[in-house]
Structures are given as C-alpha cells and as structure tokens.
Amino acid sequence: MLSPQAFFAAPILLFACFLPSHAFARMPLDTETLLKKIEGTYAEVKDYQVEIEDRTYDRDGSFQIKQFLYTFKEPGWIRLDFETPYSGMVLVYPDKNGEVVIRPAGFPFFKFHLALDNPLLRVASG
C-alpha cells in the first residue's frame, strides 16, 4: 500500500517530467536565430579571464595536470599565467613581431621570443 506522501508525489513527479517536453513542443527552437544571438553576444566581449585545468591522460593510466589563468583582450591578445606545473611562468601572444613571449618563473628579466609554430609550444594533443 502506498503511503500518503508517495501517493501525492507520483502525480507531481509525472507532471514535472511531462512539463519540459510539452513546453518545448509548443515553442520550437530556431537554431539559426539562436546561433546569431550567441555570435552577436560573443562579438561584444572585449576581454575576459578564465581559470583552466588541462588534464592529459596517458595509456598507462597516469595523467598530468596543468593549471593556468587564461586572459583574452581585444584585438586577439592572449596571456597565460601558469599555476602548475610551471608556477609563475607567463606566456603572452602576440608580441610586436607576432611571436610568443615566454617569461620563465623566477627570472622576470629573461624573456624568450618564439615563433607560433615552434615545437616547444606544442602540447601532447597537438
């Protein structure tokens, strides 16, 4: 025999499951309009920062974690401030010559300039 709580919960649960599909059936999504709205909103973004954690898994089950702060500023300026595994290292792209500037951790007066296609800038996934 059903308890009073279960008796009243079942119809509410059924109604909650039916509601989203019924609501979307009456309001079809216009993909083209949605994509244009997303692109328009993104075009208005001038700068942003995000913390990124990149995990690379090896076949043997081990993995590496890289954490960094990604900063983007218009028009196309990017800066990576590494937290792990190279705490304090900074990459900036582009410099005045269109290259990547690397400032190693602990050596703020050293700067290395590398072409964007330099193999040292590649990650395991390519």
Same domain for 56 and 102?
A: yes
Residues 26 and 67 in one domain: no
Q: What per-residue confidence (pLDDT) applies to 7?
A: 37
In a domain, 37, yes or no: no
- For residue 14, the model assigns a pLDDT of 41
What is the number of structural domains in the chain? Answer: 2
Across residues 25-51, what is the average pLDDT?
79
Q: Is residue 17 part of a domain?
A: yes
The verdict on 69 and 112 lying in the same domain is yes
95 is a domain residue = yes
> What is the reported pLDDT for 119?
86
| Band (29; pLDDT cuts 50, 70, 90) | low
Same domain, 9 and 55: no
| Claim to verify: residue 98 and residue 50 sit in the same structural domain | yes
Average pLDDT over residues 15-32: 57
Across the beta sheet with 100-103, the strand order is: 47-57, 63-73, 77-84, 90-93, 100-103, 112-114
Q: Range of 79's domain? A: 45-121
Same structural domain, 63 and 11? no
Residue 120 in this model has a pLDDT that exceeds 70 = yes
Q: Looking at the domain assignment, is residue 107 inside a domain? A: yes
What value does the mean pLDDT take over residues 10-26? 48
- Give the helix/strand (H/E) hosting 54: strand 47-57
Query: Both 15 and 50 in a single domain?
Result: no
53 shares its domain with 93: yes
pTM reported for the whole predicted model: 0.57
Spatial distance between the Cα atoms of 17 and 13, rounded to a whole number of angstroms: 6
Report yes or no on 58 lying in a domain: yes
Tell me: do 74 and 114 sit in the same domain: yes
The DSSP letter of residue 74 is T
